[in-house]
Each structure stands twice: as C-alpha cells, then as structure tokens.
Amino acid sequence: MTAEPAFGEAMLRRGAGVVDHRMARRHLINEFRRGRLRPDQVCDAHPELIRAATNVGAPASVPCPICQEPALRLVTYVFGPRLPAHGRCVSTAAELAKLDVRTDEFTAYVVEACVECRWHHLLRALPLGGRRARRTG
C-alpha cells in the first residue's frame, strides 16, 4: 500500500528523473515510533500547506503514519519559470499535463500532509516539461 496521487500515476510511469523520498519518510516515522522524535518535531506543517491539503488535497490511500487518522492528503507543488516563487499548487491531472508539454522545465513535488496532526513529508520530486528544450546547446 502506497499513498499515490491518482493524477500522478501517468507521470510516474515515465520513471526517468523521479526522486523518491519514501526511505527518508520511513526513517522519520520509525524514529518517531521509537520515541526519538517528539510529535511537535514531525507535525509542524506550515498553515499554508494545511490549507492547501484541506481545500485541494487528494485523499491518500493510507491513514496518517503519526496519528493514524484518515486525514492524510496529497498536495502537488510545481516550481519553474514564470510560476510563483513559492510554487503553484496543482490539483488536477489536466493542469499537470498542460505544464508537462511546455518547453520550460518544471519540478513537481508531491507532499503528504495530515489535516489532523499536521504531519507532513515530501514523497517525491518529478520533472515536468522540458520538451525540445535540449535541442540546441
């Protein structure tokens, strides 16, 4: 069982360049369960992230690893040229696909956030766009 965003499936199957952060996530959760990290050390999501998770987050297929509530949401932020410095929160597959056909190179970050206890973690980063961008040197 993994917490995959449905709209990210097609992108993920492309494979190349995807950076998976699930190992780091598991490590953090283990440290918490062993009592080496306090809840306030792992549940400190920015209010803006919690707001995005509440409003546009996709429900995760697993419960929160910290509080066990079914309150885990997946939020995707895209960074790149002509996007806001804090990234653009993308909530639909159509929007992601639109960025993916552009010549500009973007990076999408899939973040999970718990709207109950404010646990959050980066799940993975994946490249988008860059079509024809490497044609000339």
Interface residues with Zn ion (CB under 5 A)? Answer: 64, 66-67, 114, 116-117, 119
Min dist CB 57 to Zn ion, Å, is 13
- The nearer residue to Zn ion, 18 or 67, going by C-beta atoms, is 67
Min dist CB 88 to Zn ion, Å, is 25
Min dist CB 36 to Zn ion, Å, is 18
Residue 137 CA to residue 134 CA, distance in Å, equals 7
**Listed residue (93, 99, 44) closest to 66, CA to CA:** 44
- The nearer residue to Zn ion, 113 or 128, going by C-beta atoms, is 113
- The nearer residue to Zn ion, 89 or 114, going by C-beta atoms, is 114
- The nearer residue to Zn ion, 96 or 110, going by C-beta atoms, is 110
Min dist CB 66 to Zn ion, Å, is 5
